[in-house]
Amino acid sequence: MNAERAAEVLRTFAQTGCRGHSPLYEQLCSRMAEDEHILKIVQSAPDTQPAPNLILAAVHCLLLGGIRHELGAYYPSISESPLPPESAFNPFKAFCLEHESAIRELVATRRVQTNEVNRCAYLLPAFCLISKQNLQRPLAMIEMGTSAGLLLNWDRYSYDFGTGKSYGQPSSAVNIRTEWRGTKKPLQLESLPVIADRIGLDLHPIDLNDEKESLWLRALVWPDQPERMKRISNAIQEFKTNPVTLLAGDGLERLPSVVDSISREATICVFHCHTLNQLSAERRSDFNELLSKCSKQRPIYELSAEWIMTAQPELNLIEWENGHSKKSHLANVDHHGRWVDWKHE
């Protein structure tokens, strides 16, 4: 990625990802796009990774890890009375220059594995729909690019869709809040599916028992969004009480054996949230071919929440059977689950 492309990526991220949601990151990315030295650091990010998220998380990780610097005064995750973000770039640049080697090491060795728990806001109605279509048979959930596996505990969280009713587990400390947009009302969500299996596949699953791994996961959360930080901290505690199966390795290589291990009594649901964007077009094609092949043995439901070549993230349900697929557009969604515009009848 050359400097011009890096600057374009930063400006786009500032305008479409951060504006209206993270004033601090909007300011930083806008200014980073104009700075020659910072652009060189951004260019060091692997082509398969979202560079702005990776650089910002590396800086946040070092601050959360205890490095004392004037930049911390601008981060609400560090300071109880943060300074205005409009003045944050100069301290940010100074921090990057002082800790460039540590930042570059994190950029080279870490991945953007944001386990955004609020994405469960659209997983809940989707899994309930799949369960209903399969006469309430137990669901076997397989998540591609699982990160720390926090989404696999979706049925153990509480949900507020702004309708005055609570769904899921009302007593849970992990509260999923979202705005339900559009004319279609939330589905019948009172009865949750029975879960037969919870399996997450990732090249490098995050080990929440490792302090450095847990720190990186929290660093991926944007520092001026305290609700997200609280939510992920509570989800981490829930995971430690109710861990799921996480398998390391190439998901496309491991998926067939995992599918074979699932009981015939269960409905297989392969799902992925903002994961395929980190794969090449060729690898995405390989993934489709793999699901087609696996479906010749038994039906597979694929739940896809991605933002690839579309104006906004889309939630789609693809039913695979006998090598063929049928796609249903379920909803348009916010990439952090802040709203759900349900489309499915």
pLDDT at 58: 98
The predicted model gives 52-80 an average pLDDT of: 96
DSSP label at 316?
E
Cα 338 to Cα 98: distance, rounded to the nearest angstrom: 36
Percent of the chain surpassing pLDDT 90: 89
pLDDT at 183: 87
Angle among Cα 283, 245, 206 to the nearest 5 degrees reads 70
- Kindly report the average pLDDT of the chain as a whole number: 95
pLDDT at 135: 85
Edge-first strand order for the sheet with 166-168 is 166-168, 158-160, 175-177
Judge whether 88 and 96 are in contact, CB under 8 Å.
no
Tens of pLDDT along 99-149?
Answer: 999 999 999 999 998 899 999 999 999 999 999 999 889 999 999 999 999
pLDDT at 188: 77
pLDDT at 184: 86
User: What's the full length of the chain, in residues?
Assistant: 345
Domain ranges for the chain: 3-109, 117-342
pLDDT for residue 23 is more than 80: yes
Tens of pLDDT along 207-251?
Answer: 999 999 999 999 999 999 999 999 999 999 999 999 999 999 999
pLDDT for residue 90 is more than 80: yes
> Sign of the C-alpha dihedral, residues 215, 221, 224, 227?
negative
pLDDT at 163: 85
The predicted model gives 34-61 an average pLDDT of: 94
Percent of the chain surpassing pLDDT 70: 100
pLDDT for residue 186 is more than 80: no
Tens of pLDDT along 103-116?
Answer: 999 999 999 988 99
How does residue 65 score in pLDDT terms, banded at 50, 70 and 90? very high
pLDDT at 194: 95
Cα 101 to Cα 106: distance, rounded to the nearest angstrom: 9
How does residue 172 score in pLDDT terms, banded at 50, 70 and 90? very high
